[in-house]
């Protein structure tokens, strides 16, 4: 039959590093959207940032899973 193929330690480490890097990027993007949503609407319009406030608002499912 087939022998199971397990990932090497290096592959596991690279996968974990990549996952943490993606998490860091995602958190930074969410933080930036939150900062931009705090800018008054008339200034966002002047800068051409349409839809920023809606993107930064958490969804209902995010609010349901948010820690107290």
What mean pLDDT comes out for the span 10-37? Answer: 93
pLDDT classification of 66: cutoffs 50, 70, 90: low
The band of 45, judged by pLDDT with boundaries at 50, 70 and 90, is confident
Q: How far apart are CA 53 and CA 55, in angstroms?
A: 6
- Which tokens hold the place of 55? 């993107």
Q: Is 53 in contact with 37 (CB distance < 8 Å)?
A: yes
What length does the chain have? Answer: 68
Query: Rounded to whole angstroms, how far apart are CA atoms 61 and 52?
Result: 19
Give the DSSP H or E segment for 9. helix 9-37
Encoded tokens for 14: 């690279």
């Amino acid at each position: 039959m087939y022998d199971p193929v397990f990932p090497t330690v290096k592959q596991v480490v690279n996968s974990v590093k990549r996952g943490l890097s993606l998490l860091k990027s995602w958190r930074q993007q969410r933080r930036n959207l939150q900062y931009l949503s705090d800018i008054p609407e008339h200034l966002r319009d002047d800068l051409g940032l349409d839809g920023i406030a809606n993107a930064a608002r958490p969804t209902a499912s995010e609010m349901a899973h948010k820690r107290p």
